Amino acid sequence: MSTLRIALGFSAAVALAACGSTGPFVWATSLPPQPAARDTVITSADIVNVRVFREDTFSTREHVRPDGKISVPVVGEVMVRGRKPDEVAKEIEGRLKTMLKEPSVSLVLEQPVQIPVSVTGEVRQSGTFQLEPGANVLHAIASAGGLNDYADGDKIFLVRKTLTDRVRFRFSDLRSGVTTNITLMPGDLIVVE
């Protein structure tokens, strides 16, 4: 069954790549720098432990859903993806103030799971790869065996569901560190033309 899911997922990624290889894009060099440390920002691949001091009924262990949210008992849904753990803990504390006197909340990231990223186009081995959290575009290309002989190193694109435009990279800029090497998220697609 999981082989079928992987095959279907890859087929969908290839179909998306065919649609996503044309149209508007932004150069990666025009994007703001990303946070230096991966573990400071929560992703959809994470598992979080929310602990409310002396209130076990409000505490929970949650997988961050694909929509970037978790469900906290009594509090409800909380958007966590792209935010720092301390920031989310403060929001939960604020929501609990109507029910508890001086709530104290901690949010800890557990060992994150690997993230699925698809790489297609002019690479040695197209496919969906399970990468470590914190992996970037260069890691994804390396997982696909690198660029093949037909690749245009100036036409590497990141397609992400949450972005309106594709992000374009130059391979030489990625290797030299000139370009912001974007940290990948689950479901990202790298297209090499």
| Domains of the chain, start order | 10-37+113-192 (3.10.560.10), 46-109 (3.30.1950.10)
Q: So what's the pLDDT on residue 38? A: 47
* Nearest alpha-carbon partner for 33 in 183, 171, 184, 165: 183
Tally DSSP H helices, then E strands, for the chain: 4, 11
Inter-CA distances, 191 with 18, 78, 173, Å: 9, 32, 16
Q: So what's the pLDDT on residue 110? A: 83
Query: What's the whole-model pTM score?
Result: 0.57
Backbone angles phi, psi at 75, to 5 degrees: -75, -40
Task: Tell me 73's DSSP state.
Answer: T
Task: Give the integer Cα–Cα distance in Å for 108 and 114.
Answer: 18
Q: So what's the pLDDT on residue 40? A: 63
Beta-strand ranges (E) seen in the chain are 25-27, 47-52, 60-63, 69-72, 76-79, 105-109, 115-121, 127-131, 156-159, 166-169, 189-192
Q: So what's the pLDDT on residue 61? A: 94
CA 70-10-113 angle, to 5 degrees, is 35
* Cα first-last separation, the chain: 31
**pLDDT < 70 regions, the chain:** 1-23, 32-40, 111-113, 180-181
For residue 52, give both structure tokens. 């409310």
